[in-house]
Amino acid sequence: MTGTRGLARIEVGILGFDALVHGGLPEGRSTLLAGSTGTGKTVFGLQFLASGARLGESGVLVTFAERPDDLIANAESFGWDLAGLVRDRRLAILDATPDASATVSGRFDLSGLSARIGHALDEVNGKRLFIDPIDALFEEFSAAVEVRHAFAAMLRALRPLGATTVIAAERPSEDDHITRYGAEEFVVDNVVLLRNARASERRRRTVEVLKLRGADHHKGEFPFVIDPRCGIEIVPFSPIEGGADGSAERISLGNAELDAMFGGGMYRDSLMMITGATGTGKTLIGLQFMLAGIAAGERVLYLSFEESQWQLERNAAAWGMDLKTPERAELLTVISRYPARLGLEDLLVEIKHTVEEFEPTRLVLDSMTAVEHNSPPKGFREFSVGLSGYLKGRGVATMMTTTLPNLLGGDHATYLYLSTIADAILALRYFDLDSEVRRALLVLKVRGSQHASRMHEYEIREDGMSLLGPIQGISGILSGQAQHTAHSSKGSAGAGGRRE
Amino acid sequence: MEREPDGVSLRMYVASDTAPSGHARRQLAALCERLGGERWEVEVVDVFERPALAEADRIVATPVLIRLFPAPRLSVIGDFSDLDAVAAALDLKEAVDR
pLDDT at A481: 78
Q: Which residue of B has its CA nearest to A93?
A: B55
Judge whether B51 is closer than 8 Å to chain A, CB to CB.
Answer: yes
Contacts of A199-202 with CB under 8 Å at 24 or more apart are A199/A376, A199/A379, A200/A374, A200/A375, A200/A376, A200/A379, A201/A374, A202/A343, A202/A344, A202/A374, A202/A375, A202/A376, A202/A379
Tell me the one-letter amino acid at A28: G
Judge whether A111 is closer than 8 Å to chain B, CB to CB.
Answer: yes
Q: Is the Cβ pair B23, A107 closer than 8 Å?
A: yes
Cβ contacts of A101 on chain B, cutoff 8 Å: 72-75
Q: Is the Cβ pair A112, B13 closer than 8 Å?
A: yes
Main-chain phi, psi angles of A393, to 5 degrees:
-60, -30
CB A401 within 8 A of CB A368: yes
Of A370, A335, A369, A373, give the one whose Cα is nearest residue A355: A335
Please state whether beta strands A102-104 and A91-95 pair in parallel, antiparallel, or not at all (unpaired): unpaired
Cβ contacts of B82 on chain A, cutoff 8 Å: 105-106
Strands, sheet with B8-14, edge to edge from the N-terminal-most edge strand: A102-104, B74-77, B64-69, B8-14, B40-46
CB B28 within 8 A of CB B41: no
Cβ contacts of B62 on chain A, cutoff 8 Å: 108-112
- Residues of chain B predicted below pLDDT 50: 1-3, 5, 98
Q: How far is CA A294 from the centre of its chain?
A: 27
Q: What is the DSSP letter of B90?
A: T
pLDDT at A156: 92
Q: Is the Cβ pair A96, B20 closer than 8 Å?
A: no
Tell me how far apart the alpha carbons of residues A342 and B5 are, in angstroms, rounded to a whole number: 65
pLDDT at A3: 42
Judge whether A107 is closer than 8 Å to chain B, CB to CB.
Answer: yes
Judge whether A95 is closer than 8 Å to chain B, CB to CB.
Answer: yes
Task: Give me the helix-helix angle, A111-124 and A144-158, nearest 10°.
Answer: 30
Of A115, A186, A430, A298, give the one whose Cα is nearest residue B52: A115
Main-chain phi, psi angles of B22, to 5 degrees:
-60, -45
Judge whether B55 is closer than 8 Å to chain A, CB to CB.
Answer: yes
Tell me how far apart the alpha carbons of residues A35 and A358 are, in angstroms, rounded to a whole number: 35
Judge whether B82 is closer than 8 Å to chain A, CB to CB.
Answer: yes
Judge whether B21 is closer than 8 Å to chain A, CB to CB.
Answer: yes
Main-chain phi, psi angles of A353, to 5 degrees:
-60, -40
CB B48 within 8 A of CB A116: no
Tell me how far apart the alpha carbons of residues A66 and A168 are, in angstroms, rounded to a whole number: 13
Q: Is the Cβ pair B81, A95 closer than 8 Å?
A: no
Cβ contacts of A95 on chain B, cutoff 8 Å: 58
CB A204 within 8 A of CB A196: yes
Interface pTM (ipTM) of the complex? 0.89
Main-chain phi, psi angles of A125, to 5 degrees:
55, 50
Q: Which residue of A has its CA nearest to B86?
A: A105
What global pTM score does this model have? 0.72
Q: Is the Cβ pair A116, B21 closer than 8 Å?
A: no
Say which of B18, B80, B85 has its CB closest to residue A109: B18
Main-chain phi, psi angles of A462, to 5 degrees:
-60, -30
Tell me how far apart the alpha carbons of residues A350 and A330 are, in angstroms, rounded to a whole number: 19
Q: Which residue of B has its CA nearest to A108?
A: B78
Each residue's pLDDT tens digit in chain A (500 positions)?
Answer: 444 456 899 999 998 898 888 889 999 999 999 998 889 999 999 999 999 999 999 999 999 999 999 999 999 999 999 999 999 999 999 999 988 888 888 888 999 999 999 999 999 999 999 999 888 888 888 778 888 888 999 999 999 999 999 999 988 877 667 787 777 777 779 999 999 887 666 678 899 999 998 888 888 888 888 888 889 988 876 654 444 456 678 999 999 999 998 888 998 889 999 998 888 999 999 999 999 999 999 999 999 998 999 999 999 998 899 999 999 999 999 999 887 667 788 888 889 889 999 999 999 999 998 888 878 777 788 888 889 888 988 889 999 999 887 766 666 555 666 777 888 889 998 888 888 889 999 888 787 777 777 889 999 988 788 899 888 888 877 777 778 886 544 444 444 444 43
Of B68, B61, B57, B73, give the one whose Cα is nearest residue B14: B61
Say which of A103, A104, A112 has its CB closest to residue B54: A112
Q: What is the DSSP letter of B73?
A: P
| A/B interface, count of CB pairs below 8 Å | 107
Tell me how far apart the alpha carbons of residues B75 and B93 are, in angstroms, rounded to a whole number: 15
Say which of B19, B48, B75 has its CB closest to residue A101: B75
Judge whether B25 is closer than 8 Å to chain A, CB to CB.
Answer: no
Judge whether B56 is closer than 8 Å to chain A, CB to CB.
Answer: no
Say which of A95, A110, A120 has its CB closest to residue B61: A110
Q: Which CATH class is domain B8-97?
A: alpha beta
Residue A356: is it exposed, middle or buried by C-beta count within 10 angstroms (0-12/13-18/19+)? exposed
Tell me the one-letter amino acid at A143: A
Of B92, B71, B78, give the one whose Cα is nearest residue B20: B78
Cβ contacts of A107 on chain B, cutoff 8 Å: 19-20, 23, 78-79, 81
Q: Is the Cβ pair B81, A106 closer than 8 Å?
A: yes
Of B71, B72, B70, B59, give the one whose Cα is nearest residue B12: B59
Sign (positive or negative) of CA dihedral B87, B92, B96, B98? positive
Kindly list the domain boundaries of chain B, sorted by start residue.
8-97
Judge whether B12 is closer than 8 Å to chain A, CB to CB.
Answer: no
Domains defined along chain A, listed by start: 4-234 (3.40.50.300), 250-495 (3.40.50.300)
CB A473 within 8 A of CB A484: yes
Q: What contacts B98, CB < 8 A, 6 or more positions away?
A: B6
Sign (positive or negative) of CA dihedral A148, A154, A160, A163? negative
